[in-house]
């Protein structure tokens, strides 16, 4: 049997230039960043292990590859979603109330305030996961959705405009689960909306 050999990319955990965040402690951010780095490590481990198993036609190896491929979506999306998350805090806070994003939000939700309220509503979904704002260019509309884990419920092909981590590891240093609304408020208070507007402009 012809064995297939392939190369794979090794990922490096990103560093983020984060300011002091109101309502999110340095300890919380350190814990969260360490968890992100774990996703990067596991992506690299899975890809290296899959590549090693590819060099054998052993039936057990094929089974192991199949299971690792299922796991890869969880680890890879966990890595990438956290990169979206942390880069939203970088830079000097800003935002243009007349930006293309603001206009799109007003068209979809009635106003910028309603847009924020809808993000909070989706973030209140029971369980662990993400609240994600996407832009659907063909449909010319924003979508705010709940994503279980990291990979279940993603809207196929839509670029991510905003990513709000609703796993308990994102806030448990500072807030108990019953007070996760305060975490959502802190997240939104710290978001640099210029980053979100730039993502929207690139997607539109």
Which tens digit of pLDDT belongs to each residue from 54-80? 777 777 677 788 888 889 999 999 999
pLDDT number for residue 2: 43
Assessment of whether the complete model's pTM goes beyond 0.85: yes
pLDDT number for residue 1: 42
pLDDT number for residue 5: 55
**Cα separation values, 159 from 42, 87, 131, 156, 181, Å:** 24, 15, 14, 9, 26
Longest CA pairwise span in the chain (Å): 62
Q: Which segments of the chain have a pLDDT < 70? A: 1-6, 60
pLDDT number for residue 69: 87
Q: Residue 192 corresponds to which tokens in the numbers above?
A: 């640099």
């Amino acid at each position: 049997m012809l064995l297939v050999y392939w190369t794979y990319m090794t990922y490096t955990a990103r560093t983020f230039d984060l300011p002091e965040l109101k309502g999110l402690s340095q300890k919380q951010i350190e814990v969260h960043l360490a968890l992100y780095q774990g996703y990067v490590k596991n992506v690299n481990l899975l890809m290296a292990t899959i590549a090693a198993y590819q060099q054998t036609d052993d039936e057990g190896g094929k089974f192991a590859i199949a299971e690792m491929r299922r796991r890869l979506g969880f680890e890879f999306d966990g890595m990438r979603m956290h990169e979206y998350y942390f880069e939203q805090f970088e830079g000097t806070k800003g935002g243009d109330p007349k930006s293309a994003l603001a206009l799109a939000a007003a068209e979809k939700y009635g106003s910028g305030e309603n847009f924020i309220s809808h993000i909070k509503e989706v973030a209140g979904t029971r369980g662990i996961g993400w609240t994600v704002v996407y832009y659907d260019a063909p449909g010319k509309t924003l979508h705010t959705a709940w994503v279980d884990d990291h990979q279940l419920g993603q809207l196929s092909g839509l670029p991510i405009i905003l990513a709000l981590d609703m796993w308990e590891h994102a806030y448990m240093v500072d807030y108990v689960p019953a007070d996760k609304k305060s975490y959502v408020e802190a997240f939104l208070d710290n978001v640099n909306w210029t980053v979100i507007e730039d993502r929207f402009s690139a997607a539109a």
